[in-house]
């Protein structure tokens, strides 16, 4: 961490952060933690936090929660879960309670022998779907064509979800204007890769 990130961590983490492995058993009381009742948006893998901080500021009506395993990113954000999002979802978030889940530019694991490490797999998508409220959304973005196709295939096979943009060419969602351009997307543009958005909705 930079000096500024370390200072932010030390100053704000005790009030605004949680570590997944240290959570008490059972669901997190998000209304108590945020100090209000509001729809909860979970972002998985917020990286260094630039995009997440913009998204959270642009949607003050949401209780915005970001889960990240990379320490340095946590020092730049306000409300964070440090640890494994799968454990958080499985053990600490009740079914049918999330307004949405965002997964922007997850590790693509581009080598074929590593594809099994990709987070978007049938079991993970079923878990996400179970935690979404009716009408809640699972929004993904990636700049790796093969991973985008895998996301589309896996999510389309989940009976609890429907592709909100199934009628669009390829089933891809239009790139939302509100989603900031990440450093990964900028690099993809320079390297000639096309980024795809996918938005699935809980039936």
CB burial class (10 A; 0-12, 13-18, 19+) of residue 62? middle
State both tokens at 12. Answer: 């704000």
Closest CA to 193 of 151, 142, 143: 143
Judged by DSSP in three states, 130 sits in helix
Q: What's the CA gap between 104 and 165, in Å, rounded?
A: 17
Contact 180, 55 (CB under 8 A): yes
Q: What's the CA gap between 65 and 171, in Å, rounded?
A: 28
Task: Say how many CA atoms lie within 13 Å of 104 toward its Cβ.
Answer: 23
Question: What residues act catalytically?
Answer: 107
Q: What's the CA gap between 158 and 121, in Å, rounded?
A: 10
Determine if residue 8 is left, alpha or beta; phi over 0 gives left, psi from -120 to 50 gives alpha, anything else beta: alpha
């Amino acid at each position: 961490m930079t000096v500024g990130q370390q200072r932010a961590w030390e100053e704000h983490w005790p009030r605004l952060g949680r570590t997944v492995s240290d959570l008490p058993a059972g669901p997190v009381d998000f209304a108590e933690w945020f100090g209000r009742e509001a729809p909860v948006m979970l972002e998985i893998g917020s990286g260094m936090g630039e995009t997440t901080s913009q998204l959270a500021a642009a949607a003050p009506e949401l209780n915005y929660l970001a889960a990240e395993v990379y320490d340095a990113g946590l020092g730049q954000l306000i409300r964070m879960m440090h640890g494994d999002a799968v454990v958080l979802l499985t053990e600490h978030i009740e079914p049918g309670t999330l307004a949405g889940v965002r997964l922007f530019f997850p590790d693509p694991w581009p080598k074929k022998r590593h594809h099994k490490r990709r987070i978007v797999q049938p079991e993970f998508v079923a878990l996400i779907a179970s935690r979404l409220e009716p009408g809640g959304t699972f929004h993904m973005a990636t700049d790796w064509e093969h991973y985008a196709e895998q996301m589309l295939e896996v999510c389309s096979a989940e009976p609890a979800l429907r592709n909100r943009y199934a009628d669009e060419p390829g089933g891809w969602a239009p790139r939302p204007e509100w989603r900031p351009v990440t450093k990964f997307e900028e690099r993809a543009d320079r390297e000639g890769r096309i980024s795809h958005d996918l938005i699935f909705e809980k039936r």
